[in-house]
Amino acid sequence: MHHDLRQGWAIEFYDSRGGNGAATITSTLGLCEGLAVPEGRKLVVVFVGFSAHDKHLVSSNDPQVQSALIGRLAELGIEAGPESAVRAPKPAARVPKPAAPKPAASRQPSVGGTHGWDAARLPSDTVEGIFGERAAFARRIIETGGMEELGRKSGYVNLSWARKKNIAQIHPQPDGIGLVLKYPGANLPAVLFDNVPVASLAGYKNPNTLWLDGNPRYNKQGPAVAFLIPDEANGRVDDAREWRDVVKLLEYAKTL
Query: What is the predicted pLDDT for the residue at 132?
Result: 92
Query: What is the predicted pLDDT for the residue at 91?
Result: 41
Whether residue 102 has pLDDT greater than 60: no
Query: What is the predicted pLDDT for the residue at 98?
Result: 56
Local confidence band at 119 (pLDDT 50, 70, 90 cut-offs): very low
How many residues can be counted in the chain? Answer: 256
Whether residue 109 has pLDDT greater than 50: no
Backbone angles phi, psi at 120, to 5 degrees: -70, -20
Query: What is the predicted pLDDT for the residue at 211?
Result: 87
Query: What is the predicted pLDDT for the residue at 18?
Result: 55
Backbone angles phi, psi at 30, to 5 degrees: -65, -40
Mean pLDDT of 1-24: 66
Max mean pLDDT among 51-65, 81-95, 139-153, 239-253 falls in 239-253
What are the beta bridge partners of residue 172?
Answer: 177
Distance CA 4, CA 59 (A): 21
Whether residue 177 has pLDDT greater than 50: yes
Query: What is the predicted pLDDT for the residue at 92?
Result: 43
Q: What is the mean pLDDT of the chain?
A: 79
126 neighbors 151 (Cβ within 8 angstroms): yes
Distance CA 197, CA 212 (A): 10
Mean pLDDT of 111-140: 72
Query: What is the predicted pLDDT for the residue at 97?
Result: 53
Whether residue 37 has pLDDT greater than 80: no
- 236: DSSP letter: S
Query: What is the predicted pLDDT for the residue at 17?
Result: 59
Whether residue 103 has pLDDT greater than 60: no
Query: What is the predicted pLDDT for the residue at 188?
Result: 93
Query: What is the predicted pLDDT for the residue at 249?
Result: 96
Better-scored residue on pLDDT, 256 or 191: 191
Whether residue 241 has pLDDT greater than 50: yes
The domain ranges of the chain are 21-106+113-117, 123-253
